[in-house]
Chain A
Amino acid sequence: MVTLGTVLLPVTLTVLACAGLLALASAVATARGRRAGSTLMALAACVELAVVAQLVVGLAGLAAGHDDVSAALFVAYLVGLAVIVPLAVVWARGEPSRWGPGVLAIAGLVVLVLMARLHQLWTGAGA
């Protein structure tokens, strides 16, 4: 049986890789007292692209009848994921110190946590 989880797998792995990299690079920048530079912003853009792709594929999957997950909750998570990084970028850019990257590190971690919850949802481990 083709579940929504398997449809989403490639884009999910991309999100995980980008978010993990963003969290790591941002944490390093904070530890070294660096401001948020173009590298971190590019990484944040990658996360956002991947998350938006996941939103599109996820919605298409729902529309195609993969209703093996609670639709409202699933869409809430997908949209929530797409909102976090832009907000974090705006908030980080207003802080010209090591704490700018700190905000991006939090955003990367939150994306990872939400992805884990999303995975639980579509494997039926929790509602």
Chain B
Amino acid sequence: MPDVVGVTTPRGPDDGRRAGRGPGRILVAVYAVFALAATGRATLQILEYFDRAPVAYSLSALAAVIYLVATVALARGDRTSVRVATVSCSIELLGVLAVGVLSYVDRAAFPDKTVWSHFGSGYGYVPLVLPVLGLLWLRHVRRVAKPNAS
């Protein structure tokens, strides 16, 4: 065979499952870490001392669910999953912004921390950056997936 074939051929057929490939692999890994961390934190908070801060701990649980959904959707990466991931990343961004503001304004409701308190400062602000990276990556995936898009 002539060498022409060696010119950057795509890796295998395009089965439309791009979101969890390439750099998306890293995104899924980081999301999985936060799914694990948020689930662990919420479980402990709710089982051990729920009465201390019901609002904050319920939000912890909500955050955990959203991280789990986003992780699975990004890892699957097919068309429906990309939509699910876009929704969960959007909710996540709204959540971290809303809880971030509330945790400064209404300290009484947040005597204990959640993943999203103070814009995720307890987690190196990764919770704030992650949904933005996620949404940018998903936009990229959607653009590449569209045939004939310039």
Contacts and interface: CB of A to CB of B under 8 A. Distances in A.
Interface of A: 72-73, 76, 80, 83-84, 87-88, 91-92, 94-97, 99-100, 102-103, 106-107, 110
B22 interface: yes
B29 A107 contact: yes
Nearest to A72: B44
B26 A103 contact: yes
B30 interface: yes
B44 A76 contact: yes
Contacts of B30: 106
Nearest to A98: B22
Given A95-B21, A99-B23, A103-B26, A87 B32 contact: yes
Nearest to B24: A99
Contact of B29 (A73, A76, A106): A106
A interface, over-half SS: helix
Contacts, number: 41
A80 B40 contact: yes
Interface residues of B, number: 15
Nearest to A127: B112
B50 to A, nearest CB: 14
B38 to A, nearest CB: 12
A88 B29 contact: yes
A114 to B, nearest CB: 9
Given A83-B36, A91-B28, A99-B22, 14 more contacts: A72-B44, A72-B48, A80-B40, A84-B36, A91-B29, A92-B25, A94-B25, A96-B11, A99-B25, A102-B23, A102-B29, A103-B26, A106-B26, A107-B29
A97 B12 CA distance: 13
B112 to A, nearest CB: 10
A100 B23 CA distance: 9
B126 to A, nearest CB: 10
Contacts of B33: 84, 106, 110
